[in-house]
Structure 1
Amino acid sequence: MDNPEEHPEEELEDNADEGIDVEEAGTEDPTTKKKISRQIKGIVRLEKIIADKIKGIKINLRFNKRGQSIGTPERVLQCYLGMQAKSMVSITYDNWHDVPAATLENVWKDVNLAFHLNEGMRKEVMSLVGIKWRAFKTFLTRRFLAPFITNPHLLEDNPIALDVPPKRYSIPEEEWKIFVTKRKSKEFQEFSKKQKERRAALEYPHRSSRRSYKEIEFDLQTKLGIDEPIDRSILWKEARKDASGNYVNERDKLIGDAIDDLLDQRNEGTLVEVGTNDILTQVLGKKEHPGRVRGQSRGVTQRDYFLKPAGGFSGLQQYQFQFQQHQSQKYLDDFKKLEQSFEQRLRSQAEQFEAERKREREERE
C-alpha cells in the first residue's frame, strides 16, 4: 500500500493530476452515465512527439537561471511523462520504490529517445514520472472507484462497474482487479481519509491548477520582458488568483495586500530581511519548512533559493547588524533634517513678526 510518509503530496498538491487528464475528452461519469466533454490538451502534442521519436528527432528543453526547464518544451515533457506513467508502469505496485529497476530503466531510455537529456537529469525526471504515476492511481480511484465505494447502492444498477477497467486506458483486467482490491481495503480507506484531512487543513491552497510556480514565473517574466528571477512572495500571490487576476477569497487578498505593503517597504529600504525570514515568511508568520521552499516549484532547496553571505550564520548576523545600523543612521539623518526645517521655519516666523512690529512702530511715529 502507498506509504503517506513517502509521498505526502499525493493528496496535498493541487496540481496532482498534471499530465493525467489531458486525454479525458469524451469519458463517461460512472455515477451519471453522462459523457464528460473537456478540451483536449495533450493528444495532438503526444502524437507529434511519438512521430518525431520514430524519426529520431529529439526535443530540446529550455532552462531558467535556476536550471529548471520552462516554456512550451517543459509542458510537452510533462505531457509525455504523464503518458509514460500510465502506459509503462503497472498500477498494482504499492509504492514507487517497489517498481522494478528494469522498468525504471526502460522508462528513462524511452524519454531519452524523445528529449535531449543528460544523466544529471535522471533523478528529477524519474521523480516526476513517479509523481504522475501516483496521481494517475489517485485519479482512477477518485473517478472510477470512489463513487461506488462510498455509495454501494450504485452497484445495483451496474454490478460489474468495479470489475472492468476504464476503456480509455490499456489496463489488463488482472491488474485492475488487484488495484481495486487494494483500494477497497480498510487500510487504504483509512489512509485516504487521513490524506483528505491533511489536504483540507491547508490554509492557503493555490488556485493555479496545473500551472507550477516556475510556469507562473516564466509567464510573468515574458510579460515584463525580463529574465531575472521573481521574488517568491509575488509568485505566491499570483498562484492564489483566478484566470481574471482576482483573488479567490478575502483571506488570500489580505495576505496579498500585506505582501504588497512589505514590497513597498523593501523598495523604500526600510525592511529587514535575513535568510529565510523574507517577505513571505514575515507575512505568513510561519518559519520555512526544511524540506521545501514556499512559492517555488519542487526541487528548489533553501540552499538554492536563499543566497547567504559568506561566513554562514555569523555573516547573516553581521549583515543584519549593519543593515540596522544603516537604518538607525537614516532615521537620525531624517530627524536632523526635520529639526533643521522646523528651526528654519521658527526663525522665519520670528523675523516676520519682528518686521511687522517694526513697521507698526514706524507708522505710530
Structure 2
Amino acid sequence: MADDQHEEVSKKVSAEEEIRRGITVMRRVVQGRSRGIILDVYWNNQGQLIEPNGHTLTSFIGALVRNEIPITCDDWRNKELNESKEKIWSEIKRCFNIEEERRGFCMKLAGKLLRGFRTFLSSKFLKDTDDNFVDAELPKKYESLISAEEWEAFKSKRQDPVFQRISATNRERASSPAYPYRKGRVGYGRLEQSMIKGGKFRNISSCTCFKCEELSQSLSPDDTKGILSRALDVPEYSGRVRAEHSRGHFPLSAVFVVTILSDGWQGKSA
C-alpha cells in the first residue's frame, strides 16, 4: 500500500514538474524565434518523434494546449475547437521546422497532453488519499491558465455520478492491463534512441542484427508471420498479439526485435 502511494505521489510530482518545464521551454523557444532561431524536428523510419528537439516540441505543445484550450473541454474532436487548434498549429510552425503532414500527429499529441493535465488537476487537488472528492479552491499557481468559472465547472463535472462511474471503470481497467504500457511519455521513437545510446544491444551478434534489419525492410502489413517469428525461425503462435494501426498490422522495427532477443525470448506464446 505504501509503495502504491509513493508511486502515485511520484506521478503527481512528475506531472507538476512537466507543467513547469513546459512554461520554461515555451518561453525559451519563443525567445529563440525572436532571434531567428527555428528548431528542426526529426522522425524515425516509423514516423515517430525523436531527438534532438523531440522533448522540446512535446513540452512546447503541452504549454500551448494548456494556454489555449479550457480544462472543461471533454471532446477533442469538437469543431468549436478548430480555431484554437489552428492557433496551436500556427505557433508550432513559427517555432519549429516541421512539415504540414505532421499536423495530425501534433494535434493528437496535444489532445493527449490536455487529458493528462485534466487528470493531474483532478488527482492532485480534487481527491484525498482515499480517492474521495475534495471541494478545493482554484490553485493560485494555475490562475493564469484557468478561470474561476472553468474551475467550478470542472469540479461540478467530477461530482456527476455518470462521470464517476465511467472514471471508476477506466481506473479498474488500467490497474491490471493484459499488456502493460511501458514506454511512458517519451514515445517509442525516443525510447528506442535511449536504448541504443545505453548499449542495450551490445551483446547481439552483427549477423542477428543484419537479419532483423533485413526482415524489417521486407515485411508488409499483410504478412501473416511477424518479424520476430521469422528472425527466430519459429511458428506464429495463435496467442500472439501484434501492434495495430489504422492500416493493419505494424511490423516491429529491427531494434525492438533485437531487444527481445537480448532478453532471452524463446518464441513461446504469451
TM-score by length of 2: 0.67
Give the secondary-structure state (helix, strand or coil) at the position aligned to 1:305.
coil
In structure 2, what is the equivalent of residue 21 of structure 1?
A: 16
- The structure 1 residue matched to 2:75, chosen from 95, 98, 109, is 95
Q: In structure 2, what is the equivalent of residue 64 of structure 1? A: 44
Name the structure 1 match of 2:94: 113
What is the deviation of 1:183? 1.3
Which SS does the other structure have where 1:217 is aligned?
helix
2:156 and 2:45 map into 1 onto residues whose CA distance is 46
Would the aligned equivalents of 1:89 and 1:103 in 2 still touch at CA under 8 Å? Answer: yes
Aligned positions of 1:326-337 closer than 5 A:
none
Distance in 2 (CA, whole Å) between partners of 1:119 and 1:200 is 37
Q: Residues 107-146 of structure 1 correspond to what in structure 2 (within 5 A)?
A: 107-146=88-127
Alpha-carbon distance between aligned partners in 1 of 2:101 and 2:250, rounded to the nearest angstrom? 17
Question: Could you give the per-residue CA deviations for residues 53-111 of structure 1, whole angstroms, max 9, x where no partner exists?
Answer: 33342110122222322113101101111111211111112211125211111111111
Q: Does 1:76 align with 2:56?
A: yes
Contact 2:42/2:53 (8 A) holds in 1: yes
CA contact (8 A) 2:48 2:188 kept: no
What SS does the aligned partner of 1:51 have? helix
Instruction: Please say if residues 89 and 103 of structure 2, whose CA atoms lie closer than 8 Å, have aligned partners that are also in contact.
Output: yes
1:184 matches 2:159: yes
Aligned to 1:194: 169
Q: Which residue of 1 aligns with 2:141?
A: 168
* CA distance in structure 1 between the aligned counterparts of 2:51 and 2:124, rounded to whole angstroms: 30
* Pairwise CA RMSD: 3.6
Tell me what 1:305 maps to. Answer: 251
The whole-number CA distance in structure 2 between the counterparts of 1:204 and 1:286 is: 11
Equivalent residue letter for 2:224: G
In structure 2, the partner of 1:285 is 239
> 1:94–1:282: structure 2 CA closer, same or farther, 3 Å change rule?
same
Q: 1:205 to 1:20 in 2, by over 3 A?
A: same
**Letter aligned with residue 75 of structure 2:** N
Note the 1:255-266 alignment, pairs <5 A. Answer: none
Residues 41 and 208 (structure 1 numbering): CA distance in 2 closer, same or farther, change over 3 Å? farther
Q: Do the aligned partners of residues 200 and 61 (structure 1) sit closer, same or farther apart at CA in structure 2, a change above 3 Å counting? A: same
> Do 1:182 and 1:188's aligned partners in 2 also have CA atoms closer than 8 Å?
yes
- Distance across 2 between alignment mates of 1:144 and 1:150: 11
The Cα shift of 1:142 comes to 0.9
Question: Hey, what's the Cα distance between the residues in 1 that align with 2:117 and 2:81?
Answer: 18
The number of residues matched between the two structures is: 219
Aligned-pair CA distance for 1:194: 0.8
Structure 1 residue matching 2:241: 3-state secondary structure: coil
Call closer, same or farther: CA 1:56–1:288 in 2, change over 3 Å. Answer: same
For 1:180, what is the secondary structure of its paired residue? helix
1:47 equivalent to 2:39? Answer no
Cα distance in 2 for partners of 1:151, 1:137 equals 17
C-alpha contact (below 8 Å) 2:243/2:251 kept by paired residues: no
Structure 2 unaligned regions, length at least 5? 1-10, 213-218, 230-234, 254-270
Tell me which amino acid in the other structure corresponds to 1:178.
A
C-alpha deviations, 1:232-280, integer Å up to 9, x for none? xx9xxxxxxxxxxxxxxxxxxxxxxxxxxxx89x89xxxxx96354538
Distance across 1 between alignment mates of 2:68 and 2:238: 41
Distance 1:224 1:194, change over 3 A: same
Give me the whole-angstrom Cα distance separating, in 1, the residues matched to 2:241 and 2:188. Answer: 20
**Higher gyration radius (CA):** 1
Please tell me the residue identity of whatever aligns with 2:16. D
User: Given residue 29 of structure 2, which amino acid in structure 1 is its aligned partner?
Assistant: I
